[in-house]
Amino acid sequence: MSLVVMKFGGTSVEDPAAIGRTAAIVAGRVAQGKKPVVVVSAMAKVTDQLLRAAAAAAAGDRTGALAISSRLRSRHRDTACVLVKNPADSVALQTLIDQKFDSLDEILRGLSAILELTPRISDLIVSFGERISSRMVAAAFRERSIDAAHLDARDIIVTDSQFQRAAPLDAIIEKRALEHLQPHITAGRVPVLGGFIASNEAGVTTTLGRGGSDFTGALLGSALSADAIEIWTDVDGIMTADPRVCPDALRVKVISFEEAAELAYFGAKVLHPATILPAVKKNIPVYVLNSRNAACEGTRITSLAPPCGSPFKSIAVKRKLSIIDVVASRMLMTTRLHERHLHHLRQSQMPCRYGLHQRSLCLAFRRFQR
Ligand code: ADP
Ligand code: ASP
Ligand code: MG
């Protein structure tokens, strides 16, 4: 029976209707005889709000931080209330949501006293988004007769200690996935986990960087040698351009791992740049699909894509980017000039492109900030 890792992004779990659609899609896979493992993001915009709460607390605005948390608590409680009707499950879920927000509030209060937001605390704060959404989605699945088992992704996705963009430790993840997930899969249950969140070897919460739930999906797909990885989002697949920028963009039906990785790296937000790597390792096809239009066949990312008639398959957009070409009209001392500029650019960590023609340097500033 084929195993499929299905990752649902923030818009696919943004409200009760979206979670209902997600449940129907997963139930559809089960009905096809597939074994899904489900990874979910935080509800849309929740990670941004949590980061805002953290920043407010660290700036001493305790009231502002707690107000954001209170709005998030209400949003989650209201969603859970609509999703889960069974009285016992509903009470259990509301209690759990309250417990999570009580601990978040405690952290925010502490932060507003300490006034220092470290990457480690930031990861702990944002982790609440996926920790709560995954619980809600698992409960909503059970309410809809999907035999779901919630698992804490931090017990499986183990990383180094680079908070906010931690690197996965593949061998440990593989071992933990087999230990924690496989028994549920074998028993016919649907494991549900939060994406993006992880922990280091000491058990301290880390995250895989913004948009990292795609990466969680791919890491689990690779660890379990899945037959497919599905990335469910709010567009029909990888398009010829970001449909928010170019509304008449067309769907790309098939794309190679290499092309998709390049697009993701250069800013096509539809995929986290690291998503492709674990899939390539095991040659697992990745599908990008629309949870609002599940009938659309989406984009298939595979090792070999057929040749394309157009010279461009898709165009990525990166905003707020400065490209700097350095030009000097005189040859004298150009090497030192070159080194000085490069040193400066490295310090500023500004993305840069520089042209070096023989021994002269090009200087041109082009700003694409819109
Ligand atoms: P999710 O929350 O499901 O992970 P994201 O917001 O991270 O979704 O990614 C989906 C978004 O990626 C789309 O709404 C779209 O605006 C953007 N995007 C950027 N480039 C592309 C592209 N080439 N094809 C499709 N979507 C793109
Ligand atoms: N919730 C995280 C973010 O907004 C991870 C994700 O959605 O993939 O960045
Ligand atoms: Mg995303």
Q: Where residue 107 sits, what CATH number does that domain have? A: 3.40.1160.10
Residue 2 contacts residue 228 (beta carbons within 8 Å): yes
User: What pLDDT score does 170 carry?
Assistant: 97
Report the run of H or E that residue 4 belongs to, with start and end: strand 3-8
**What residues pair up with 7 in beta bridges, in sequence order?**
39, 231
- Are residues 61 and 188 both part of a single domain? yes
Average pLDDT rounded to a whole number, residues 17-41: 98
pLDDT at residue 136, as a whole number: 98
Query: Distance, CA 178 to ligand 3 centroid (Å)?
Result: 26
Asked whether residue 15 is assigned to any structural domain, the reply reads: yes
- Distance from chain centroid for Cα 273: 10
Task: Give the pLDDT confidence of 175-191 residue by residue, as tens digits.
Answer: 999 999 999 999 999 99
What is the rounded distance in angstroms from the CA atom of residue 338 to the CA atom of residue 345?
11
User: What's the CA-to-centroid distance between 363 and ligand 3, angstroms?
Assistant: 36
Indicate if 82 and 202 belong to the same structural domain. yes
**Strand-by-strand arrangement of the 197-200 sheet:** 158-159, 197-200, 205-207
Lowest mean pLDDT among 13-22, 223-232, 242-251, 303-312: 303-312
- Residues with CB under 6 Å of ligand 1 are 9-12, 41, 211, 233-235, 238-239, 241-244, 268-270, 314
**pLDDT-based confidence at residue 313 (cuts at 50, 70, 90):** confident
Tell me the CA distances in angstroms from 197 to 5, 20, 42, one per residue in order: 16, 23, 10
Share of the chain above pLDDT 70, in %: 87
Average the pLDDT over 3-7 and give the result. Answer: 98
Share of the chain above pLDDT 90, in %: 79
Among 217, 234, 251, give the residue marking a domain's end. Answer: 234
Inside any domain, residue 147: yes
CA distance 127 to 75: 17
- Residue 19 inside a domain? The answer is yes
Phi-psi group of 246: left, alpha or beta (phi > 0 → left; psi -120 to 50 → alpha; rest → beta): beta
Structural domain includes residue 218: yes
Nearest-atom number in ligand 2 for the CA of 9 is: 7
Ligand nearest to the CA of 210: 2
- What is the per-residue pLDDT across 319-365, written as a single tens digit (0 to 9) for each? 777 767 666 666 555 555 556 665 665 555 444 443 333 222 223 22
State residue 348's pLDDT score.
Answer: 54
The preferred substitution site among 207, 213, 234, 270 for testing ligand 2, maximizing ligand atoms within 8 Å of CB, is 213
Residue among 11, 25, 40, 233 whose CB has most ligand 1 atoms within 8 A, to mutate: 233
Last residue of a domain, one of 203, 234, 265: 234
- Among 169, 170, 165, 193, smallest CA distance to 180 is for 193
Task: Assess if residue 155 is contained within a domain.
Answer: yes
pLDDT at 311: 72
- 271 C-alpha to center of ligand 1: Å? 7
Q: Write out the residue range of the structural domain in which residue 103 sits.
A: 3-234
Residues 18 and 162 occupy one common structural domain: yes
Q: Is there a domain that residue 295 lies in?
A: no
220 assigned to some structural domain: yes
Token pair of 287, please?
Answer: 């599908």
What integer best gives the mean pLDDT of the chain?
90
Angle at 22 between CA 21 and CA 24, to 5 degrees: 65
What pLDDT does residue 19 have?
A: 98
Number of domains in the chain: 2
> In terms of domains, do 191 and 333 share one?
no
Q: Pick from 191, 206, 234: which residue ends a domain?
A: 234
Residue 334 and residue 203 share a domain: no
Give this prediction's pTM: 0.89
- Classify the C-alpha dihedral 76-81-83-85 as positive or negative: positive
Q: Indicate whether 239 belongs to any domain.
A: no
Q: Within this chain, do residues 220 and 359 fall inside the same structural domain, yes or no? A: no
Residue 329's pLDDT is what?
64
Whole-number Å distance, alpha carbon 210 to ligand 2 midpoint, is 5
Quick check: 8 pLDDT over 90?
A: yes
User: Per-residue pLDDT for 292 more than 80?
Assistant: yes
Q: 263-284: per-residue pLDDT in tens?
A: 998 889 999 989 999 999 999 9
Nearest to 32 by CA among 20, 24, 43: 24
Mean pLDDT throughout 4-29? Answer: 98
- Place 233 in a pLDDT band, splitting at 50, 70 and 90: very high
Same domain, 7 and 111: yes
